[in-house]
Structure 1
Amino acid sequence: MKPDPNLIWIISMMFLAQLVSFYLVQDLEWKWVLFWSYVFGSTINNSITTSIHEISHNFPFGNRRALWNRWFGIFANLPLGVPFSVSYKRYHRDHHRYLGVGGLDVDIPTDFEGWFFCTTFRKFVWITFQPLFVILRPLVINPKPITSLEIINTVTQIIFDIIVYYVFGVKSLVYMLAASLLGLGLHPIAGHFISEHYMFLKGHETYSYYGPLNLLTFNLGYHNEHHDFPNIPGKNLPLVRKIAAEYYDKLPQHTSWIKLLYDFMTDDTLSPYTRVKRLQKGK
Structure 2
Amino acid sequence: MTTYRTTGLTGPTPTPTVSIKPLVLSAPQRGEDLHVRVTAPITGAGLPVVLFAHGFGSNLDGYAPLVDHWASGGFVVVQATHLDSKRLNIAAGDPRRTQMWRHRVQDMQRILDELATLEAAVPGLAGRVDHRRVVAVGHSFGGQTAGILVGLRVRDPQSGIAEDLSDSRVMASIQLATAGKGGDELTPFAHENLPWLRDQDFSHIAAPGLVVAGDKDDLPLSTRGPAWTTDPYTLSRGNKSLLSVHGAEHFLGGISGYQAAETTDEDPDRVALVQQVTLAYLRHVTGIDHSDWNNAQMVLTDGHPLGHLESK
TM-score (norm 1): 0.31
Structure with the higher helix share, 1 or 2: 1
